[in-house]
Amino acid sequence: MKKILHILVLPQMAGSQRISLEILKNLPDDEFEKHVLFGTEICGEKREECQRLFEAAGAKVIYLKTLKRAIGLSDFQALISIYKLCRQYRYDIVHTHSTKPGIIGRIGARLARVPNIIHTVHGLSFHDYVKFPKWQFYWLCEMFASLFCDRIVLVNRYYAKYFRWFKSKTSTIYNGVDFSRLSTPSVFPQQNETSSVNVLSVGRLDTQKDPLTLMKAAQIVIRQAPNVHFTIVGNGELYADCERFIRENYLNTHITLAGWQDNVQPFYATHDIFALTSIYESFGLIFVEAGFHYLPTVATNVEGIPEVIKNEVTGLLTNPHDYEGTAKKILQLALDSRMRTDMGRKAHEWVTSQFTIDRMVRAYVELYNIENR
């Protein structure tokens, strides 16, 4: 039986945790002894839910206090602890997820002589909106850590340009969604131009998602099409700024801030268009979910998004920070019910053929098997 360890920072069910969970859940229990390592910065209900789900997948959950998001002296302690853990359990495979676990985990596992070390790049710290000194530092850390692993998995093809020195190690495995856990989608009937059109956005209200650009776009859309309503689902450090923008521009009847929602599935059934104005995004599982529910998407043409959304086929892409361009794309869909219906159907067909959980897990299992021959 092969022993496998997944390493992540936060014990909460976000993007990389969901991917790790699906991989472990679908590994045969009679072939793999499964462990997962987390830091302890998250506690309470989120940690309890995360632990419960991983244990239900047959994984032993281990916590490490020194494994933290921020860079600090605790990183050296975490590296030593991971080294000791790998020596103790003699893992056959260590699979790290995201930047911090990817750096510390790969080095610690290699020092412990773990035979197969795999790292999935769920996102990069050296994106276009990081200033050069930090960009260079993060890039150097990632490249150095890449020396300590056997395989580097990218969640999009765009990132391959950063790893050209490790071309022989890299492969792309798109994230997948377990569509069976989603509510049954409904296809909207074609609507005439006087019908109410509802635009949905789901995501953390932070700098990366750039919700104020969407707010400014919404203001333009509403002036030209008063029948359009926006619902913003999410919370974050820019929530108060969004509230202020709505209040100061008298948009309360046109934009609803729904806050954090444990279950966003019901929102898909009552909306016609999905929109998100991220300034960087490695993949975006939320786009897959929106497509599954027959929603065409307006999003930014950055990083991995164009690989999930086919421009002018399943959605419309615009430039980051371009609120006028975003408004134009939303209006295009809002005023053309046939386009919405056509793109929505194509979005459903695209995501259900390309981004299934079975397809993703099969690719990882094949990778594990290749690495263990």
Predicted structure pTM score:
0.91
Span 16-30, pLDDT tens digits: 999 999 999 989 889
Q: 276 and 284 in contact (C-beta within 8 Å)? A: yes
What letter would DSSP give residue 102? H
CB atoms within 10 A of CB 141: 17
**Nearest residue to 305 (alpha-carbon basis) of 290, 323, 324:** 290
Span 140-192, pLDDT tens digits: 999 999 999 999 999 999 999 999 999 999 999 999 999 998 887 766 544 55
Query: Could you give the 3-state DSSP secondary structure of residue 117?
Result: strand
Complete domains list, the chain, with CATH: 2-176+356-371 (3.40.50.2000), 180-354 (3.40.50.2000)
> What's the whole-number mean pLDDT along residues 57-83?
94
Calpha distance 339→314 (Å, rounded): 10
Span 226-284, pLDDT tens digits: 999 999 999 999 999 999 999 999 999 999 999 999 899 999 999 999 999 999 999 99
pLDDT of 59 > 50? The answer is: yes
Percent of the chain with pLDDT over 90: 82
- pLDDT of 72 reads 86
Q: 128 and 93 in contact (C-beta within 8 Å)? A: no
**188-215: buried (b, 16+ CB within 10 Å) or exposed (e) per residue?**
beebeeeeebbbbbbbbbeebbbbbbbb
Q: Which amino acid is it at 188?
A: F
The token pair that represents 321 in the structure block = 């920070």
Calpha distance 1→32 (Å, rounded): 6
Quote the Cα angle for 70-82-68, to 5°: 15
Span 35-58, pLDDT tens digits: 999 999 888 888 999 999 999 999
- pLDDT of 304 reads 96
